[in-house]
Chains A and B, each alone.
Chain A
Amino acid sequence: MTDVQDKIPTPVQQASGGVAATLFRFQSVFGLIAVFVAAIIFSPRKNGEILFISADNLANVVRAVSEIGIIAVGMTFVILIGGIDLSVGAVLGLAAVGSAVLMVENDWGFLPSVLLVLAIGLVFGALQGVATAMIGIQSFIVTLAGLQIARGLARIWSGGQGVAISYGDGPKEAPSSFAILGERTFGGLVPIPVLIFSGVAIAAVVFLRISAFSRHLYAVGGNEKAARLSGVPVVRVKIAVFAICGLLASLAGIVHAVQLNQGSPNDGIGYELDAIAAVVIGGTSLMGGRGSVAGTVAGALLLGVLNNILALNNIDSNIQLLIKGLVIVAAAALQRLRPAS
């Protein structure tokens, strides 16, 4: 079985298609550079200082991107196998509520709360994977249902309202160690959410480079039937992918709760669309089989920089929506031009 599998091209082989292919492969990185340079040019200045590249502002940009970025990494895996996960925003809300309720109302410790919340995300995702891989329902439908279910669970768990998190050692207080995740910075330099996002992104890139799972992933996304015939464990791959996506969504939910000192059942509404946008701008094909985590990270940062520079210039929020929409269309249009590998 393995020698058949070995004939499936690796992502590295797929990418080696000349200069043009490389350009397209890294379109989001070049896009990010372009937007970054444009942001510097169009940045408002105060007393000769370019506000956009001030350290505080760049930290704000990457911190604001972290949650969507973490979700988008998981979303990349799902889209690589030709699926979609619409439930991530609701799972984020469920995880945010879960962290708050467990630590504040149930007085759980830091580690057990976080582990349980992560496990919930993992199992939730895995169940969605089971429904799409074993029962054969389209992932769009499965996760649309998952969105409703997670949102409903979040509302039930929280009693329908936001659960405020305050820190301390007393009853009805979250342990102070939890606050470190959101507020403080590592060594006074890097905001923790950014560290978590970087860690997730690097782990995902490395994972895709070294594991056989990566080959299975691209194979399932490229041609599911062919993959199955070549002995790729399609069902297991799909369940694993949705489980990873659910796990990362709930990790983002924990980060979300701690950054806002609250877990609300309405957190994360529409985040799935931002994550999909980051993946698409990152050059991952919605048809599956083609794309990269690095592209997604660049896509998420591009959206973050764009959001930031539009806000710094006080562009009307409706115009902001318009511009972001056009960027997504442009990214998708570029992909159509990309030569087949």
Chain B
Amino acid sequence: MRSLRISLAATAVTALVLAGCGTTSERTSGASPEASKSCKGADGKYTIGMSQANVAEPYRQRMDDDIRAAAKEVPQFDVKFADAAQDNAKQVADVENYITQQIDLLIISPNEAKPLTAVVKKAYDKGIPVIVLDRKVEGDAYTGFIGGDNVQIGSEAGKYVAEKLLPSGGNVVELKGLAGATPQAERHQGFMDAIKANPKIKVIADASGDWLREKGQAQMDALLKANPKIDVVYAHNDPMAEGAYLAAKAVGREKEMKFIGIDALPIPSGGIKAVEQGRLSATFTYPTNGKEAIAAAKKILVDCGTVERSQILPTRLIDASNAAKIYAEENPTG
């Protein structure tokens, strides 16, 4: 009987219809889970599902690594990882698979807010606590959000330029992230508001480098030709800042200007090393929140406690004075 059912189900169209007919999509909305419901205390074993938007970005790879490292310290935790490769539809399927697997807690860094909202709510409504990292979802069907504040990071960068790099004014070139991305808009806004404090600073040109090193380099090639006097290059992330540095170096102008970036990834190809090695003047940390996510998971599952609805982590300025020290701190094993 079973084999009959299998062979039936397996034929192409039959499988379609069978599976479709078997659907019992119940929707228990409104019932928000108590943290204690999933909490079995220190003796429990917990499976955590981590849904990552796109591991191909170094920042997100580091986020996964930070989660992995932090979870190692909690013997009750077993963390699974899924990569949506920047595809919203794939990320929806990833979360649905976690729901099928009946995980105990979901950590998600959504690719985009709107498309992921419904499936995150579905998980939450099934009583799975949800911790949202870095990018938000809409509504309030999640347990806690942990992220950085891009406006504040942009503002710190602007303050640094206005007070430290160009106290007596100068020309700034801005290399922006991918058009339409929220961090791009916020890192721009914060920066512009902060440099207003020093009216002698002018943003003389901007270009979009789409977060990419090679694009940053190509855009800078053109900006260098068009602008004989550039004092500071403000890039929305470190790879674009590095690209701009390489472009300036190619025409022998890298000493004329300062380069600053954002993200400060503590990896060999990241911004902290670039500051340590003198290519960038400064970068600003954009925390991955991996450690904090596991801490929150531990609070919910093991300690039966509650977590803050929204936890915004502060940025840190990395310059020549602290780069080496912070790099070592972030990579304790070397």
Contacts and interface: CB of A to CB of B under 8 A. Distances in A.
A57 B100 contact: yes
A-side binding surface: helix, strand, loop or mixed?
helix
B180 A183 contact: no
Contacts of A33: 6-7, 10-11
B89 A317 contact: no
A316 B50 CA distance: 12
Interface residues of B, number: 44
A308 B85 CA distance: 16
Contacts of B115: 260-262, 264
B222 interface: no
Interface stretch (A135-143, A187-195, A240-248): A187-195
Interface string A305-331: 001100110101100000000000000
Nearest to B10: A33
B121 to A, nearest CB: 11
Interface in B100-120: 100-102, 112, 114-115, 117-118
Contact of B16 (A40, A67, A183, A197): A197
B-side binding surface: helix, strand, loop or mixed?
helix
Given A58-B22, A261-B117, A301-B12, A198 B17 contact: yes
Contacts of A316: 81
Contacts of A64: 89, 93, 96
B173 interface: no
A162 B114 contact: yes
Contact of A260 (B6, B97, B114): B114
Given A183-B118, A262-B112, A314-B82, A62 B20 contact: yes
Contacts of B7: 33
Interface in B56-98: 80-83, 85-89, 92-94, 96-97
B10 A37 contact: yes
Contacts of B179: 160-161
22 contacts: A33-B7, A46-B101, A51-B101, A58-B18, A64-B96, A161-B179, A162-B112, A162-B180, A185-B23, A188-B23, A188-B24, A189-B21, A189-B23, A190-B21, A201-B13, A260-B89, A261-B114, A261-B118, A264-B115, A297-B16, A311-B94, A314-B81
Interface of B: 6-7, 9-13, 15-25, 55, 80-83, 85-89, 92-94, 96-97, 99-102, 112, 114-115, 117-118, 179-180
